Structure 1
Amino acid sequence: MQKHTIGAENTMETPQIQKNDDVASAARWNSLLDQLSVDKLTDLFIERVLQLDDYRDGVLPASEIRRTGAASFEALIESLRPGADSKRLIAERQGISLDVGVSRARTGIPVESLMTAIRIDFTVIWGELMALADPGDAELLVRRAETVWQVVDSYAAQTQAIYIAERQRMAQEESSVRQGHVATMFGQVSPASEMLTLIAAELGIDQFAPLVVAAATTDDAAALRVEVASASRRGTEMFTHPLPDGLVAFWAADDRPGSAAREATEQIKNIRCGLVEQVRGLTDLRVAAQTARALASLVEDRDQQALTMQNDWARLARHRLSETGVPIVPDVDAALARCGPVERARLVEAVRSYLTTGSIAQSAEQLFCHRNTLMNRLRRFTELVGIDVTIPQQAARLVVAWS
């Protein structure tokens, strides 16, 4: 009986001992992961990957390899933590895979070299973990080795699938018939109605249905291509046409909440490009593309979203006026130069706020001042420069000049 009692006690204690051991093991594993340096991992990765023939020739800039390498290491390390949010991390790795797969396909990196490069991630991470571990961590490392490999292999498989899909998309783009029809839309002469009917049938779209058009210059074309690939995976077909200095893309509009096309449009609004919505079918596509291209050419370093006619028409107008060589508001600048720096700053701040809101109350609240104070500053501005910003026709000159 005594022996049975001891056995029962041991049986009850074992799960608790095992639980404590698991907690300690997870804590030690997290400690090792915390000691990993993304910068060091990235440096080691670049050193090794540039030894591969297809990466050594510089087709893919080292800065691009570093950017995606650092992002992948951050995601992989978080994925290795016990109890990590797997759904969120899988989605995060999917985004990185999309970026890497599309860019490597477009630069002509062979898929074999891409897979070799990604699996260097495992070698680098594992080597650093071995260097950080103590002799007593041997069992822990043995138990975790398969997990490390599975996470890296999953990332590699995701990237490979996206790469292959992008290569297939490239092959479709190169189709002479299809691309020939798309190119016709952007020629010097607008196609006749009969040709538009034929092109619509070949592309599988409604000739008169509304479209959305985006254009990006060379520096931002890669980001637009990534969004085109992402939209395709979600079920929205986008058509692309290369420009001498960038890329134009168009697709059928669909404003229904939750539609794939609407989601694609919202995603593209978050990248640097020119965007024109509600284009009236293929007839207006060429002009809309020219507008999108003009907006894309105005993108500045401070911009992080798409430029549209609704929000950025003034910048486009200012650019077009500046091309004529006629200064827009030299009298305003001269008049404001007579003010002291403090007064000038306050007047400009007041006018800019009012031009944005169109409301004395909202601007006063925005600037944390009394509405009478704001009105006095607007009157003072009118006295100095002769422009009453409460009159739209006069305010328009400042809207354009200060855009």
Structure 2
Amino acid sequence: MNTLAGPQNVESAKEGANRWSALLAKLSVDDLTDHFLNRVLRVPGYDILPLPSSEIRRTGAASFAALIRGLHQGNEGSSGRAERLAIATHVGVSRARAGIPIESLMTAIRLDFSILWGELTSIADDADAGLLVRHTDRVWDMVDSYASQTQTTYMAERERMHNEESSVRQGYVAALFGEMRPPAEMLSHIADELRIAETAPLCVALAIGKEMAGLRVVVASAAQRDAEIFTHHLGDGLVAFWPCDERPGSAVQEAASQISNLRLGLLKAVQGIADLPDAARLARELAHLLTPEDSEALTMPVAWARIARLRLAASGSPITADVDAALARCGVGERARLIEGVRVYLSSGSIAASAEALFCHRNTLMNRLRRFADVTGVDVTVPQQAARLVVAWA
């Protein structure tokens, strides 16, 4: 049958509480802090003194004092929790700003338990064994709670730092594409802030419409591997640029390979950040030249003829009006065969490869090319004359 605690149990509990308070009173914050410093300065991340030793000592002493006050039975009110939270907040913020790795910080904080517990066991008597066992969880829970609060604050501060840095860096990226080009001195500063050489060869991609989603996915995947690809919304498109990196297997090289498989405009080896605005405009032009037949990025080696055709057309200069008029005098069947033969030949410049693609004898193809020259006056075996058709039919 259960009964209320008798006088002897009450007296025993009171004696235990008094003995626990007596043990805590014997703890020296200065000695605990000295032990902590001796050990924490050997923890990777702390061994190069990222903070003044006076700061580490000050916060170490404050945390031990707060933990000891909290361990006194009946002294765990809201003020005690608020005190430890204030210390945890300061430690989390200052260590995040100092660049101490989170693993090192957690190792340092959990030293508090081993040092505190080691000191308690050294000053306790054999008769205190049961008392220590009863308080083990309490000591650990308090240290662990302090560690969790510090970790939460640290991670929040790191996120804040990342957002601040991203915002500043995004501002520099935006300045590169502003209406007014940054002066040379500003360009040099921006390059330093973005951690790229001012004249480093850059790759520039621009996606429009629904293709922007694919580009964002590649950029995010690269960031997970610590490879930074800079992005900026420019008019109707998303422009991305990064230092060229051809090292096989590098995160940037793999991202570049993935981007080349997207339907967007792509320029390689742009010479430095000063040329980025012009490169972005040209990349946009390439993106707008994509056709349903294009399944990957459009580059200048592939699209130069399309651009030339559009610009010549915009200038009002007819490119092949004479050729079209001459071909119109041929019968429909002959005209189709001549155009097919010339197009296939222009794609490779090889009689043998073109004849194979057309499933005809090479002499048959050569006869078609000669006939085309007779009709139009354009000999496609002469590069200068063939260039006109390459542009017109791009």
- Tell me which interval the TM-score lies in, with the shorter structure as reference length: 0.5 to 0.7
Alpha carbons 1:173, 1:179 under 8 Å: kept: no
Partners of 1:173 and 1:375 in 2: CA distance = 67
Over the matched positions of the two proteins, sequence identity in percent amounts to 62
- 1:200 is matched with 191
Deviating beyond 3 angstroms after TM superposition, the runs of 4 or more aligned structure 1 residues are: 171-176
- Name the CA shift for 1:379/1:206 in 2 (closer, same or farther; >3 Å): same
| TM-score w.r.t. length of structure 1 | 0.55
- 2:333 is matched with 342
Partners of 2:299 and 2:268 in 1: CA distance = 8
| 2:390 is aligned with 1:399 | yes
Deviations 1:344-387 (A, max 9, x none): 22211111111111111221222222221111100101111111
Letter in 2 for 1:334: A
Partners of 1:297 and 1:330 in 2: CA distance = 25
254, 265, 271: which one pairs with 1:263?
254
364, 369, 391: which one pairs with 1:373?
364
- 1:290 is matched with 281
- Name the CA shift for 1:316/1:362 in 2 (closer, same or farther; >3 Å): same
Tell me the secondary structure at the aligned position of residue 318 of structure 1: helix
- Structure 2 unaligned runs (5+)? 1-158
Partners of 1:174 and 1:382 in 2: CA distance = 63
Query: How much is the aligned-residue C-alpha RMSD, in angstroms?
Result: 2.1
| TM-score w.r.t. length of structure 2 | 0.56
- Structure 1 unaligned runs (5+)? 1-167
- Name the CA shift for 1:390/1:240 in 2 (closer, same or farther; >3 Å): same
Tell me the secondary structure at the aligned position of residue 399 of structure 1: helix
373, 377, 381: which one pairs with 1:386?
377
Alpha carbons 1:210, 1:281 under 8 Å: kept: yes
1:218, CA displacement in angstroms?
2.5
Deviations 1:155-202 (A, max 9, x none): xxxxxxxxxxxxx89x85995422221111112333222111111111
Alpha carbons 1:295, 1:308 under 8 Å: kept: yes
Pick the structure with greater CA Rg.
Answer: 2
Alpha carbons 1:216, 1:272 under 8 Å: kept: yes
Tell me the secondary structure at the aligned position of residue 325 of structure 1: coil
Deviations 1:311-334 (A, max 9, x none): 111111112222223332122222
1:306, CA displacement in angstroms?
0.8
Partners of 1:191 and 1:387 in 2: CA distance = 48
Tell me the secondary structure at the aligned position of residue 281 of structure 2: helix
Letter in 2 for 1:355: L
- 1:249 is matched with 240
Partners of 2:185 and 2:325 in 1: CA distance = 57
Partners of 1:231 and 1:337 in 2: CA distance = 54
| 2:352 is aligned with 1:361 | yes
Letter in 1 for 2:217: V
- 2:209 is matched with 218
Tell me the secondary structure at the aligned position of residue 228 of structure 1: helix
Partners of 2:230 and 2:330 in 1: CA distance = 54
Work out the number of aligned pairs and report it: 235
